[in-house]
Each structure stands twice: as C-alpha cells, then as structure tokens.
Amino acid sequence: MTRTLITHADIVTLDATGAILRDSEVAVDGERIVAVGRAPAGFLPDETLDATNHVLMPGFVNAHTHASMT
C-alpha cells in the first residue's frame, strides 16, 4: 500500500466555516485520506508531492443530469 504526502497545498475544506488551509498537507495511506492540515507524527510517505501554488478541494459530482442528452 502506497503512502503519499501532499505538501504546501492551499486546501478548500468546504466545512461550515468556509476555511481555507494555507500551506498545508494531506496524508494518504493507500486509498484513504488519513490527515488534512498536517501529517501525523511518524507518517513516512513513499512519495511526496509538492503542491506549491496549487489548490486541493473535494471532488464534485454533477447530480443534475439529463439522461436523454448523454
């Protein structure tokens, strides 16, 4: 299972406060996000991605579709 650490990202959380975490990290273990903000102590990534000048945000789903038009 690959462990990935994304560093130096601006993260749009979409929480109730509308917080944007600046220069933050996302730790991923396999297919699971295990931390947002800072990686847990002792998290040793197999791969580190530098997201300087990039924005991370949740995936969006277009739930409004027209089946006959697809």
What range does the domain containing 33 cover? Answer: 1-40
Helix, coil or strand: residue 4: strand
Q: Does some domain include residue 51?
A: no
> pTM above the 0.85 mark?
no
Q: What is the pLDDT along the chain (70 residues), one digit of tens a residue?
A: 899 999 999 999 888 998 999 999 999 999 999 999 999 999 999 999 999 999 999 888 777 777 776 5
Q: Does some domain include residue 16?
A: yes
Q: Does some domain include residue 64?
A: no
